[in-house]
Amino acid sequence: MKVEQISIFIENKSGRLAEITRILGESGINIRALSLADTSDFGILRLIVNDVETANKVLKEKGFTVNKTEVVAVEVPDRPGGLGAILQTLDSEQINVEYMYAFVERCGGNAVIIFRFDEVDKAINALKANNFSVLAGERLYSM
Amino acid sequence: MYFNEEFETLPRPALEALQLKRLQAVVERVYANVPFYKASFDRSGLKPADVRSLDDLQRFPFTTKQDMRDSYPYGLFAAPLDEVVRIHASSGTTGKPTVVGYTHKDIDTWSDLMARSFVAAGAHRGDIIHNAYGYGLFTGGLGAHYGAERLGASVIPISGGNTKRQIMIMQDFGSTILTCTPSYSLFMAEEARAEGIDFKKLKLRVGIFGAEPWSEAMRGEIEEKLNLAAIDIYGLSEIMGPGVAIECIEAKNGLHIWEDHFIPEIIDPETGRRLPQGERGELVITTITKQGIPLIRYRTRDITSISYEPCVCGRTHARISRMSGRSDDMLIIRGVNVFPSQIESILVGIEGVEPHYLLIVDRKDNLDTLEVHVEVDERLFSDEIKVLQLLAKRIEKEIKDVLGVTCTAKLVEPKTIQRSEGKAKRVIDNRKL
């Protein structure tokens, strides 16, 4: 029930993001979700893509520092309070969220939240026990 | 004006006769008391009696900073520790400093030479000397302090830092002489301006600046902004500390090196051969009166030239030109000696850090800045910002802890730092000196 995310280190200089998307595009990689975290000196681009292995390989070949992390995707009804209920559950189980980002499904009425936890299994169990819909990687990659 | 007219204006034949006598004595002393020198002279097949003229000095081997490190801490001392009354040290590449010891007589000599230097710079009794050189293991603060007291001036031992307080004290106490690094003087002037204080209304008359390289253009800027005569002073802890050489205020053209205590030579740093007057090369100094740690032909690594031309001030001691660089890769950052290899060994000690690094030195708002660029490879990389920020902080802290230099660590993409077949370029020095 885990999702593989790739993260790429980028210096804060113009053109780097364009370079990455160009490399991925040329390799036929489709980006499903992304988040860019930045500081004054560098940024971390986090991506969910349809083909993790190829994306990882082509970016490394171009000299980028890339790593893979396991994240958790949770489906949330796209209505007020949807995210709040999930966070409430995580809080009561004392599970810490390292970071998160969201995207809204194209044709459904749901949003998908990507979470990064330190204790991934514990988080998945807690979410499932509380009847939240945790998405399998394959489902996300092919959305 | 002289502090010691007899010695400062000694005719050259008499000066050279004195040098020879003192050189013979020091060579005798180190041969008898320092096993390092006995071994080194024996290896070269030399005996103290081989010093028959000043020219014979050229036959003797050099002493290097590495020799001092290898002898850490007291191996090169020629006097027993119960005669050593002061210990100073400068930074060393392995984190071990270069240690120097002074006997009572050495402190006395140093005080005299600093007092001489103050007078050459235009100071006199009654001056209020604002001493903003750091006090501590670094020789700058205490060297200037003892010299000021020997001269009979009033010294304010304020040391470095706390700039607002420095400016207040200069105003309130009526400081007439400022001693600090040249860049710090400009920093103070900027701070004063920001506070709405006009430096030109202070009583400062002379600034005595050293411990880092500076230029003629910087002298112009300092003299303009601080409204004083800016004088260049030179020294290094291995030889004594500040006051080895100083410009006279009359000429401000070359630094008189006190030849009755030091014998200067200029050598080609590649071949080790002595160069003629006027040619640029590495300064080598032999100390001829020091008791604690006399050094024979110490390679300073500082690049300069020497002139024996008479000076308008009447001093007969040779003049060395403003230091124009180093024959090794040492950087002087805010007065602190830094070797790139020191930073390299700190980085290598941090797990996962690649030995590919680049140091960028600059001068912003008149203060030196150091940026350390480190490549982030997969072992270091994390998808979490805080992990990378902690890494940068850790690099900054370790460099500060070991070298005492504040820097900014910048994480960069892999393979962005230049690789080369030969010697990689590790330093970009953007300071306009």
* CA B156 and chain centroid, separation: 22
Contacts of residue B276, defined as CB under 8 A and 6 or more positions apart, other chains included, come to none
Please answer yes or no on whether A65 and B376 come within 8 Å at the CB atom.
yes
The nearest alpha carbon in chain A to B388 belongs to A42
Q: How far apart are CA A61 and CA B73, in angstroms?
A: 50
Classify each residue of B77-92 as buried b or exposed e, where b means 16 or more C-beta atoms within 10 Å of its C-beta: bbbeeebbebbbbbbb
Please name the residue that has the structure tokens 């003087």: B185
8 A C-beta contact, residue B164 and residue B191: yes
- Residue A5: list chain B partners with CB under 8 A: 383
CA distance A46 to chain B (A): 7
Predicted model pTM: 0.76
pLDDT band with cut points at 50, 70 and 90 for residue A31:
very high
- Residue A69: list chain B partners with CB under 8 A: 383
- Tokens linked to B2: 């002289």
- Residue B392: list chain A partners with CB under 8 A: 41
- Residue A10: list chain B partners with CB under 8 A: 413
8 A C-beta contact, residue B417 and residue B357: yes
- Tokens linked to B141: 């603060």
Contacts of residue B76, defined as CB under 8 A and 6 or more positions apart, other chains included, come to B34, B36, B63, B67, B68, B293, B295
Summarize pLDDT for A75-108 with one digit per residue, the tens: 988 788 888 999 999 999 999 999 999 887 765 6
Q: How far apart are CA A58 and CA A62, in angstroms?
A: 6
pLDDT band with cut points at 50, 70 and 90 for residue A66:
very high
CA distance B412 to chain A (A): 6
- Tokens linked to B333: 């950052």
Whether residue B276 has a cis bond before it, omega within 30° of 0 = no
- Tokens linked to B325: 């660089």
Which pLDDT score, from 0 to 100, does residue A138 have? 84
Please name the residue that has the structure tokens 């860019």: A36
Give the closest of A16, A63, A67 to B383, CB-based. Answer: A67
Give the closest of B389, B392, B413 to A65, CB-based. Answer: B413
Map residue A11 onto helix, strand or coil: strand
- Residue B388: list chain A partners with CB under 8 A: 9, 39, 42, 44
Question: B256, exposed or middle or buried, with CB in 10 Å at 0-12, 13-18, 19+?
Answer: buried
Q: What is the mean pLDDT of chain A?
A: 90
The enclosing H or E element of A56 equals: helix A52-61
Which pLDDT score, from 0 to 100, does residue B424 have? 60
For chain B, 433 residues long, give each residue's pLDDT as a single digit of tens: 999 999 999 999 999 999 999 999 999 999 999 999 999 999 999 999 999 999 999 999 999 999 999 999 999 999 999 999 999 998 655 567 899 999 999 999 999 999 999 999 999 999 999 999 999 999 999 999 999 999 999 999 999 989 999 999 999 999 999 999 988 898 899 889 989 999 999 999 999 999 887 888 889 989 999 999 999 999 999 999 999 999 999 999 999 999 999 999 999 999 999 999 999 999 999 999 999 999 999 999 999 999 999 999 999 999 999 988 888 888 988 888 888 878 888 887 887 776 678 999 998 888 899 999 998 888 889 999 999 999 999 999 999 988 888 999 999 988 787 765 555 678 899 986 6
Contacts of residue B58, defined as CB under 8 A and 6 or more positions apart, other chains included, come to B265, B274
Which pLDDT score, from 0 to 100, does residue B355 have? 66
Which pLDDT score, from 0 to 100, does residue A77 have? 81
Which pLDDT score, from 0 to 100, does residue B252 have? 97
Classify each residue of B122-161 as buried b or exposed e, where b means 16 or more C-beta atoms within 10 Å of its C-beta: bbeeebbbbbbbbbebbbbbbbbbbbbbbbebbbbbbbbe
Which pLDDT score, from 0 to 100, does residue B143 have? 97
Amino acid occupying residue B2 = Y
